[in-house]
Amino acid sequence: GAVVSQHPSRVICKSGTSVKIECRSLDFQATTMFWYRQFPKQSLMLMATSNEGSKATYEQGVEKDKFLINHASLTLSTLTVTSAHPEDSSFYICSARDTENYGYTFGSGTRLTVV
Amino acid sequence: KQEVTQIPAALSVPEGENLVLNCSFTDSAIYNLQWFRQDPGKGLTSLLLIQSSQREQTSGRLNASLDKSSGRSTLYIAASQPGDSATYLCAVSSGGYQKVTFGTGTKLQVIP
């Protein structure tokens, strides 16, 4: 079945630095990938829709200059948290749609801690 | 705007019991509905995918049903095991880009 690989699984960074998270579709091409954020004991909130070769579509309230998304190829999307602050600490998960059955496959998530 | 609700928020059952998790959504114009499992601190594992034209899907001890007209889906787990303990999320795909909206989740604990 479709597999989405997400790296790193865990990262700790200092305030003010930037962190890049990668999301790869391993055995299928994904023209569209999605980035979610999950706060403790809450469900997933869609942050943005990443489209290959074009600009990402951000959900209301998500700062596009803070959360930079690049989808340069059909198998890779990246999320860069710029000038990270402690309030950016969260669990970030990407997903891609399997074009065969249109179900969604999720990465294993990235636990970001900003100190 | 699609809204997805899951009831109950938490459930604790003894091992071996059959159980039902509920998911309701407000906009019935969906592409599909997917049930996921999430273990603490982990990503999501897809359990069952039901297309809008389907009524149910089965995988092992799991059975998911879909009633689009009433905006409801249920996940039935037969003969529950301690390894089934996790948070179960339903997700509905609808609207532009087939955007996925997640439910609030049901945290299941199966007691040995």
Digit-coded pLDDT (tens) for B8-31: 999 999 999 999 999 999 999 998
> Is A109 in Cβ contact with B43 (below 8 Å)?
yes
Average pLDDT score over chain B: 93
Return the bridge partners of A23, or none: A6, A77
Largest CA distance in chain B: 44
The minimal CB distance from B104 to the residues A43, A105, A109 is found for A43
Q: Is pLDDT at B40 greater than 90 in this prediction?
A: no
The pLDDT-based confidence of A1 (bands split at 50, 70, 90) is low
The pLDDT-based confidence of A101 (bands split at 50, 70, 90) is low
> What average pLDDT does this structure show over A60-77?
92
Binning chain B into helix, strand and coil, the percentages to the nearest 5 are: 5, 60, 35
Identify whether A40 is preceded by a cis peptide bond (ω within 30 of 0): no
Q: Is pLDDT at B36 greater than 80 in this prediction?
A: yes
Q: In A, what residues contact B, Cβ < 8 A?
A: 6, 32, 34, 36, 42-46, 49, 57, 91, 93, 95, 97, 101-109, 111
Pick from A24-28, B39-43, B95-99: least confident: B95-99
- Nearest-Cα distance to chain A for B15, in Å, is 24
Name the residue of chain A whose CA is nearest to B46's CA.
A105
Q: CB of A105 within 8 A of CB of B46? A: yes
